[in-house]
């Protein structure tokens, strides 16, 4: 395989062994895409055709408004609405419903990230199959969030032989199951702390158990913070 641009970031992010390495790679791609779309790419006619068609999800509208200037975002919205109005005017109510449902489920940024994640997984499984240093890095991961654990299982099936896939699944499951044991223990302890008999005990690692549990389930850290006072 020719050296692909993704083997370097994969090695870097898996080298940190801090949190879900695939979230960390996803965040890098997402940052790049948001900067790109609110920068020079915004004026490119090819890109505009795509953003007019696919639009953006709530998460990525939010990020664009956070990072980008107001005018580029307004210009994207201006032509996006022009296209949407044209489509709605041409369609009957059932067609309008179908069109709007498709629009709700599509996002230009999500689509671009997914394309890059596809190539990234191809590179990841190449490294896992061929590079001893990466194999060790992989085994040293603390955990994967569920969305990325699921993707590892899915892409692994696509990229590995049946025999290698079985080995890979056992390896990634041993990472995941030991993490889930720890996380469940932390959630249990968090709940126990609200029982007066344990109120004076140490929190151990459970203070952010709710946040970590939600993160594991969704791949995104929630914005709320747990109420850690036990004076209920
Ligand atoms: Zn993740
Ligand atoms: Zn999106």
pLDDT tens across 124-141, in order?
999 999 999 999 999 999
Are 113 and 147 found together in one domain?
no
* Ligand with smallest separation from the Cα of 110: 2
Could you read off the pLDDT of 156-172 as tens digits, one per residue? Answer: 999 999 999 999 999 99
Residue 31 Cα to ligand 2 middle (Å):
12
The pLDDT value recorded for residue 229 is 58
Across 37-75, b (16+ Cβ under 10 Å) vs e yields bbeebbeeeebbebbbebbbbeebbebbeeebeeebbee
Are 126 and 153 found together in one domain?
no
* Per-residue DSSP letter, 223: S
Are 113 and 46 found together in one domain?
yes
- List the domain range (segments joined by +) for residue 219: 143-232
**Does a structural domain hold residue 15?**
no
Are 28 and 61 found together in one domain?
yes
Show which of 130, 158, 189 is a domain's final residue. 130
Whole-number Å distance between alpha carbons of 23 and 31:
12
> How much of the chain exceeds pLDDT 90, in percent?
82
**Does a structural domain hold residue 151?**
yes
Are 158 and 126 found together in one domain?
no
**Does a structural domain hold residue 72?**
yes
Task: Calculate mean pLDDT across residues 12-30.
Answer: 94
Are 171 and 95 found together in one domain?
no
Top mean pLDDT of 122-126, 203-207, 225-229 is at 122-126
Q: How many domains does the chain have?
A: 2
Q: Which of 202, 203, 209 is nearest to 183 (CA)?
A: 209
Residue 109 Cα to ligand 1 middle (Å):
17
Q: Which of 8-17, 51-60, 68-77, 143-152 has the lowest mean pLDDT?
A: 68-77
From the number of C-beta atoms within 10 Å of its C-beta (0-12, 13-18, 19+), residue 137 rates as buried
Residue 32 Cα to ligand 2 middle (Å):
13
User: Is the confidence at residue 24, as pLDDT, over 50?
Assistant: yes
Residue 22 Cα to ligand 1 middle (Å):
5
Are 178 and 89 found together in one domain?
no
Residue 19 Cα to ligand 2 middle (Å):
22
Q: SS3 of 156, please?
A: helix
Residue 179 Cα to ligand 1 middle (Å):
13
Are 216 and 119 found together in one domain?
no
Residue 150 Cα to ligand 1 middle (Å):
10
Show which of 100, 130, 160 is a domain's final residue. 130
Are 168 and 191 found together in one domain?
yes
* Ligand with smallest separation from the Cα of 26: 1
Contact 127, 10 (CB under 8 A): yes
Are 196 and 103 found together in one domain?
no
Residue 218 Cα to ligand 1 middle (Å):
8
- Hunting for tokens 């050296």 — which residue is that? 3
Contact 7, 127 (CB under 8 A): yes
Show which of 98, 130, 162 is a domain's final residue. 130
């Amino acid at each position: 395989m020719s050296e692909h641009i993704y083997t370097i970031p994969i090695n870097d992010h898996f080298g940190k062994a801090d949190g879900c390495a695939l979230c960390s790679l996803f965040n890098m791609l997402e940052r790049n895409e948001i900067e790109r779309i609110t920068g020079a790419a915004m004026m490119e006619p090819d890109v505009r055709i795509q953003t007019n068609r696919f639009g953006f999800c709530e998460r990525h509208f939010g990020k664009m408004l956070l990072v980008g200037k107001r005018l580029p975002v307004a210009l994207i919205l201006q032509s996006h609405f022009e296209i949407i109005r044209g489509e709605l005017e041409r369609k009957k109510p059932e067609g309008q419903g179908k069109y709007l449902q498709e629009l709700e489920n599509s996002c230009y940024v999500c689509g671009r990230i997914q394309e890059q994640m596809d190539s990234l997984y191809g590179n990841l499984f190449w490294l896992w199959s061929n590079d001893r240093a990466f194999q060790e890095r992989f085994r040293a991961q603390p955990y994967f969030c569920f969305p990325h654990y699921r993707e590892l299982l899915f892409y692994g099936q696509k990229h590995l032989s049946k025999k290698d896939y079985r080995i890979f699944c056992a390896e990634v499951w041993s990472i995941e199951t030991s993490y889930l044991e720890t996380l469940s223990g932390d959630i249990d302890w968090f709940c126990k702390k609200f029982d007066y008999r344990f109120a004076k005990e140490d929190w151990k690692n459970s203070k952010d158990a709710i946040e970590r549990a939600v993160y594991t389930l969704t791949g995104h850290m929630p914005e709320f913070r747990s109420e850690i006072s036990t004076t209920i």
